[in-house]
A and B are shown apart, each in its own frame.
Chain A
Amino acid sequence: MSAQERQAWTIRGARVLGGEVRDLYVSDGVFVDEAVSGARVVEADGLIALPGLVDLHTHLREPGREDAETVLTGTRAAAAGGYTAVHAMANTDPVADTAGVVEQVWRLGREAGYCDVQPVGAVTVGIAGERLAELGAMADSAARVRVFSDDGHCVSDAALMRRALEYVKAFGGVVAQHAQEPRLTEGAQMNEGEVSSVLGLRGWPAVAEEAIIARDVLLAAHTGSRLHVCHLSTAGSVELVRWAKSKGYPVTAEVTPHHLLLTDELVRGYDPVYKVNPPLRTAEDVAAVRAGLADGTIDVVATDHAPHPVEAKDCEWAVAAMGMLGLETALSVVQHTMVETGLLDWAGVADRMSVRAAVIGSLEGHGRPLESGEPANLTLLDPAASRVIEPNALYSRSRNTPYAGLKLPGAVHATFLRGAATVLDGKVIDR
């Protein structure tokens, strides 16, 4: 254990999960009952203590797109956002479809040390949607992959999706589907609706997401295997997942922070910072996903943090890349859209941004109660602070945040990864 990890801590007067005010004591990487001598003190009066956040959906871009982000810069951004674990999606270059690549990503995460990196394995070779990748090898590797996803692309072939769902049962895996019927979304640029018809941009209809979800929840039921729905974005999708859960089907779902807040009206200025997949939807969809997250139909908030280099967004809409940054603003957006509106309390935030994600990802040591004996993965949030989002002040290597200039509530005060402080006083601690 490094010197940083051996540091003991006394966190004084935090509101644990927004409720009871008490002190927390950390020693040798776990929570303990009493203060330890030599412990550094963090005055946490007024701060909310949450289990370290867990992201089920992050793009760290390494290997292959290090101009946009690396495991190092991405995990620093994650720590700044209060995260202690992120699931790194497989659409890298080369694709993470072998034990070799997933182990490389896992190792890069450990070496950087800011946040646990749990690699996601691709479902198909090269994410080409044709043949299954060596899912077993990835599961058995040092990276211990449990979440498999072709994210970026949909596993649209029904037979292939069925086989994938069946196959991962052998090692307790879960298939995370990017629901997008390719034939209904060829050349699609933004949500299909009133705005797209006026702007002359090809539409991405809600049915293209919902049709795949409808099929997949039935396949999950038929195979008895777990399905996780990535970045769900429409009211119809929420209803489908609610129905599936009511039938007891093994389905979980995630929503991104941006789909909790932003709508397709923002596209009217043709600014590609708002170009994302799935696209920003209507106000009705935003209301529905908020309600879905509040009642637990949607299990987790997952950032889909998608860094892009400047030139990929500094151009015409049609040629711009799809994706938005999310790690450093997720907690603030959730506070703004869910806590301040009374839809979710802080205990609920802990559940949707940490506990359930760890369960779905079979991630040990994360999303645990803040109790003696548990690993000290902890986030301290100052809910009374606020900040104006400044792209150049972000820890991410990229700048494509849709919240530039926006004032958002809350600021991460400290993040602890197994007892080591990765963030203190709102700043990332260099390792």
Chain B
Amino acid sequence: MKHHLLSTADLSADDATLILDTAGELARLADRPIKKLPTLRGRTVVNLFFEDSTRTRISFETAAKRLSADVINFSAKGSSVSKGESLKDTALTLEAMGADAVIVRHWASGGAHRLAHAGWIRSAVVNAGDGTHEHPTQALLDAYTLRSRLGSLEGRRVGIVGDVLHSRVARSNVHLLSTLGAEVTLVAPPTLMPFAIESWPCSYSYELDPVLPKLDAVMMLRVQRERMDQAFFPTEREYSRRYGLHADRMAALPEHAVVMHPGPMNRGLEISAEVADSARSTITEQVANGVSVRMAVLYLLLGGSEPAIGTENDEGGAR
């Protein structure tokens, strides 16, 4: 039975804790001269990226190679504009190549679900980001980073600020952090807040300043400049003034609070250079932790006859 990691909403608190604990063990690998474990030797892991992302792809590639898996990088062409090979045909090709796991980043929400449930492949599927839906390993490495800086996440207050509406990182983090017992507050202008936000397991505010003094961590989301052209906010200046994390706002945070950003940053728009480079910022640790967390996910999905986490193969679709 193949399991998948498609969404943090599918992870129980035990699953999530297992991943983070395993990542903690695997992090020690970085201190050794030989940064390799033989565990996934002979397994084939495919990076199937329909959207460019050198960072995430390299992170997964490193994780798979440290576990001695063979890695194949498949940069798929094909968007709603330039129709290349269909997702189905690409999947069938991978199946023929004998992939044990497919790490997929897709521009369409639900892209990873279709790959996992359409019956085209038998591999385990790891969602590396699908449209504006989810990015589970990002949320996991964010939680890992928070845990290593703050200790237990139970009762911790985390703010997520920015274009929540279009953010898969925000969705994954809201599910995961609330599962782990943290209290999440979303902050965004009303135009960038998801519809039906009241039904989400978190609170929300249209103003940043009242929220900051109560937070243990604040996560800044990237704001795309194109959204300005679609009338989501009037000017960059106004956005930065009302929702940007600059030095004054950073000073309003409690002393122990940390600043996070999934990257890539728009220095000067949602976050000032000063804040990004400050000691409170966990931005570079997040990148390092990404490898350990992704190693943990690959190990837990592939390192046995049955995975230790994840959604089952025959769930999700209505067929």
Contact = CB atoms under 8 A, between A and B. Distances in A.
Contact of A200 (B131, B196, B316): B131
A306 B194 CA distance: 31
A83 interface: no
B110 A316 contact: yes
A425 B256 CA distance: 77
A269 B195 contact: no
B318 A271 contact: yes
Interface string B307-319: 0000000001111
A315 B114 contact: yes
B171 to A, nearest CB: 6
A318 B108 CA distance: 6
A274 interface: yes
B114 A316 contact: yes
Contacts of A192: 195
Given A314-B118, A316-B114, A318-B80, A201 B88 contact: no
A171 interface: no
B86 A311 contact: yes
Interface string B188-227: 0000001111011000000000000000000000000000
B117 A269 contact: yes
Nearest to A195: B196
Contacts of B195: 192-193, 196-197, 203, 205
Interface in A169-220: 189, 192-194, 196-201, 203, 205
Contacts of B317: 269-271
Interface residues of B, number: 32
A197 B194 contact: yes
A317 interface: yes
A319 B196 contact: no
Interface in B110-145: 110-111, 113-114, 117-118, 130-134
B106 interface: yes
A373 interface: no
Contact of A317 (B108, B134, B194): B108
Task: Determine which residue in B117, B318, B319 has the highest number of CB atoms from chain A within 10 A of its CB, and name it.
Answer: B318
A316 B107 CA distance: 10
Contacts, number: 85
Contacts of B131: 200-201, 318
Contacts of A405: 319
Interface in B68-111: 80, 86-88, 106-111
A268 B109 CA distance: 11
Contacts of B196: 193-194, 196-197
B118 A199 contact: no
A266 interface: yes
A317 B108 CA distance: 7
A200 B200 contact: no
Contact of B108 (A196, A197, A271, A319): A319
B168 interface: yes
A316 B87 contact: yes
A319 B80 contact: yes
A125 to B, nearest CB: 27
Summarize B's interface: helix, strand, loop or mixed. loop
B110 A199 contact: yes
Contacts of B114: 270, 315-317
Contact of A316 (B111, B197, B316, B318): B111
A315 B86 contact: yes
Interface in B282-319: 316-319
Given A199-B133, A314-B88, A266 B199 contact: no
Contacts of A197: 194-197, 199-200
A200 B133 contact: yes
A200 B171 contact: yes
B172 to A, nearest CB: 10
A31 to B, nearest CB: 44
Interface string B145-174: 000000000000000000000001001000
A315 B318 contact: no
A388 interface: no
A205 B114 CA distance: 25
A36 interface: no
Contacts of B168: 200
Interface in A347-398: none
Contacts of A189: 109
A404 interface: yes
Contacts of A316: 87, 106, 108, 110-111, 114
A268 B194 CA distance: 17
A114 B250 CA distance: 74
Contacts of A315: 86-88, 114
Contacts of B199: 194, 197
A317 B87 contact: no
Which 9 residue pairs of A and B lie closest in terms of their CB atoms, listed nearest first? Answer: A270-B110, A200-B133, A318-B108, A200-B132, A200-B109, A197-B194, A316-B108, A194-B196, A270-B113
Given A197-B195, A199-B133, A315-B114, 12 more contacts: A193-B196, A194-B196, A198-B171, A200-B110, A200-B133, A201-B110, A270-B110, A271-B317, A274-B318, A316-B87, A316-B106, A318-B108
Interface of A: 189, 192-194, 196-201, 203, 205, 266, 268-271, 273-274, 311, 314-319, 404-405
27 contacts: A192-B195, A198-B9, A199-B110, A199-B133, A200-B109, A200-B110, A200-B133, A201-B109, A201-B131, A203-B195, A205-B195, A269-B113, A270-B113, A270-B117, A270-B317, A311-B86, A311-B88, A314-B86, A317-B108, A317-B109, A317-B114, A318-B80, A318-B107, A318-B108, A318-B109, A318-B111, A405-B319
